[in-house]
Amino acid sequence: MSDLVMMARGAFRFAMSRTDYQTSRRAAAYRWESVDRAGRAPALQFAGPGTETITLSGTIYPSFAGSFRQMELMRAQAGLGVPMMLTDGMGFVWRKWAITEVNETRTLLFADGAPRKIDFDVTLTAYGEDRA
The CATH number linked to 73 is 2.40.30
- 80 contact partners, CB below 8 Å, separation of at least 6: none
* pTM above threshold 0.85: no
Residue 9 belongs to some domain of the structure: yes
Q: What is the mean pLDDT of the chain?
A: 83
Residue 57 belongs to some domain of the structure: yes
Residue 77 belongs to some domain of the structure: yes
| Radius of gyration of the CA atoms of the chain, in A | 19
pLDDT of 121 over the 50 cut: yes
Q: What is the pLDDT of residues 60-83, one digit of tens each?
A: 888 776 667 778 888 888 898 989
From residue 122, give the alpha-carbon distance in Å to each of 53, 85, 102, 105.
10, 16, 5, 12
In which order are the strands placed within the sheet that holds 115-126?
12-15, 5-9, 84-88, 93-109, 115-126, 40-60, 23-37
State which residues form the domain around 22.
Answer: 5-28+48-126
CA 64/CA 38 separation, integer angstroms:
66
pLDDT of 8 over the 80 cut: no
Residue 85 belongs to some domain of the structure: yes
**Number of domains forming the structure of the chain:** 1
Amino acid making up residue 51: T
pLDDT of 98 over the 50 cut: yes
Q: Residues 32, 24: contact at Cβ < 8 Å? A: no
The gap from C-alpha 37 to its chain's centroid, in whole angstroms, comes to: 40
**What band does 1 get if pLDDT is binned at 50, 70 and 90?**
very low
- Quote the percentage of the chain above a pLDDT of 70: 83
Residue 36 belongs to some domain of the structure: no
pLDDT of 120 over the 60 cut: yes
CA 62/CA 60 separation, integer angstroms:
6
